[in-house]
Every structure is written in C-alpha cells, then in structure tokens.
C-alpha cells in the first residue's frame, strides 16, 4: 500500500485512522452515558443537554473549530490548565482527535439513544426484581440488547471522524505529519499544481474506508440481531 501511496499521502491516511480511532474510543463511554441519560433519564435540563449534544451537527464546522480554539488554546484557562498537566491539544494530532470526537459525538449519541429506547424497559424491571443493581442491569441487559445500535453509533462516529475537515483545520490547522488528516491532505493537494493524482488516490482511500465501515457495521448488526434472536 505504501508503494501505491506516496509517503505524504500515507502519513495522512495513517494519521486520519489514528485520529478517528481515538476519537471514537474515547467518546464511546461518554456517548453511552449521555445516550442513557437522554433515553431513560428523568431530570431537569434533559432538553438542554439534548440541544448541546446535537449542536455540532447543525453548527457550521468552522464555528465549532473556532469555539474549540477559544477554549483549548494555551492562552485560554482550560488550555492552560490542560497544558499544566502536560496535555496539549492545540495544533497537535490530539486536537484533531478532539475536534473529530466533538463532531462525531451527536451521530454516535443519536444511534445509541435510539437503540436504548428500543430496549423494553420491562426487561430491565424484571432484572431488577431478580436482584440486579442498576449497573448490572445496564451491563447485562440494556447494553447487550442495544449493541447493534451502539456499534452503528461507533461506526458513524468513526466515519465522521475520518472525514472531519472544517472544525479540524480551524482548530489545529493543517500541519503535515501532525494535523494533516485525510481531508486536509486532499484539500492541500488540490491547492498544489500537479497534486491531482495524490488527491485522487486519497479520495479512493476515503471512499474505500467509508464503504468498508458501512459494510462492517451492517454485518455486525445482522450478526447481533441473530444472536439476540426473538
């Protein structure tokens, strides 16, 4: 594959895979928790939480990038606090992962929430009467039954993270080897004279990764549904 892709192109693909992987992995526990809150929680501010979670879906990505920059730049309080414990995100690949996670989060939460809402709460009640604590009910009943939706949510988040451009380039710029993800690289190659070939190869990779992710998630969901049976 490295023979077919130039080193610069390969670096962009590898970086995007890494960014998308970490963005998905780190958001998953939070996504599960927020989806559970939205699906089953009865508390004040549920609607507000719903709006905040979904904002990145409808805001211009540049705005999200700008807000991230304002929050996490070393000059801002949050950025300073993070820097003091050795975590730096501005203009780093970790920042690209953060931007990708924020943009992919609503898609993930949406899918997981729908899956959790589809789990019959009467089964959860039955588990509770058998002595299962809330945590055990979630781990042994809710989560397994919602698993196809959870996987779908993770795949959607991963795909979104692979393709995130606006918020990433605004927040962490387009530094080769550090923050030049696949879409940023395609954009950069298109700006260079004679870069069309590289851009085209990356476009092919993008399409392939996206298609593969979709096929994999469908297959997983089918396998899960079979396993759950009914």
Find the binding residues for other proteins in span 139-198 (CB under 8 A): 140-141, 144-145
Is residue 222 part of the contact set for other proteins (CB under 8 A)?
A: no
Contact in structure between 164 and 187 (CB atoms under 8 Å):
no
On whether the CB atoms of residues 136 and 55 are closer than 8 A, the answer is: no
To other proteins, the closest distance from the beta carbon of 140 in angstroms equals 8
Q: How far is the CB of 39 from other proteins (least distance, A)?
A: 18
Span 33-92, contacts to other proteins by CB under 8 A: none
Applying CB under 8 A, does 230 fall inside the site for other proteins?
yes
Number of amino acids touching other proteins (CB under 8 A): 21
Q: Single out the segment in contact with other proteins by CB under 8 A; choices: 28-36, 121-129, 159-167, 215-223.
A: 121-129
Binding of other proteins at residue 228 (CB under 8 A)? yes
Query: What number of other Cβ atoms are within 10 A of residue 32's Cβ?
Result: 22
Out of 26, 51, 123, 215, name the contact with other proteins by CB under 8 A.
123
Q: Which is nearer to other proteins, 114 or 210 (CB)?
A: 114
Residues of the shown chain interacting with other proteins in the complex, contacts defined by CB under 8 A? 122-123, 125-134, 137, 140-141, 144-145, 227-230
């Amino acid at each position: 594959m490295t023979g077919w892709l130039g080193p610069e192109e390969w670096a962009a693909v590898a970086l995007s895979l890494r960014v998308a992987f970490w963005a998905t992995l780190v958001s998953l526990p939070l996504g599960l928790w927020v989806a559970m809150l939205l699906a089953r929680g009865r508390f004040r501010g549920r609607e507000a939480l719903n709006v905040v979670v979904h904002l990145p879906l409808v805001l211009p990505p540049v705005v999200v990038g700008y807000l991230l920059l304002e929050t996490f730049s070393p000059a801002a309080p949050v950025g300073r606090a993070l820097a003091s414990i050795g975590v730096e995100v501005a203009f780093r690949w970790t920042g690209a992962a953060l931007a990708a996670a924020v943009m992919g989060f609503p898609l993930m939460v949406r899918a997981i929430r729908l899956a959790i809402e589809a789990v019959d709460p009467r089964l959860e009640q039955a588990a509770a009467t058998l002595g299962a604590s809330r945590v055990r009910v979630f781990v042994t009943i809710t989560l397994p039954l919602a698993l196809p939706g959870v996987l779908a949510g993770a795949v959607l988040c991963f795909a979104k993270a692979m393709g995130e451009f606006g918020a990433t380039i605004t927040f962490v710029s387009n530094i080769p080897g550090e923050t030049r993800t696949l879409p940023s690289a395609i954009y950069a190659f298109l700006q260079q004279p004679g870069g069309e070939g590289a851009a085209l190869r990356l476009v092919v990779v993008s399409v392939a990764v996206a298609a593969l992710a979709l096929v994999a998630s469908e297959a997983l969901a089918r396998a899960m549904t079979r396993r759950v049976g009914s």
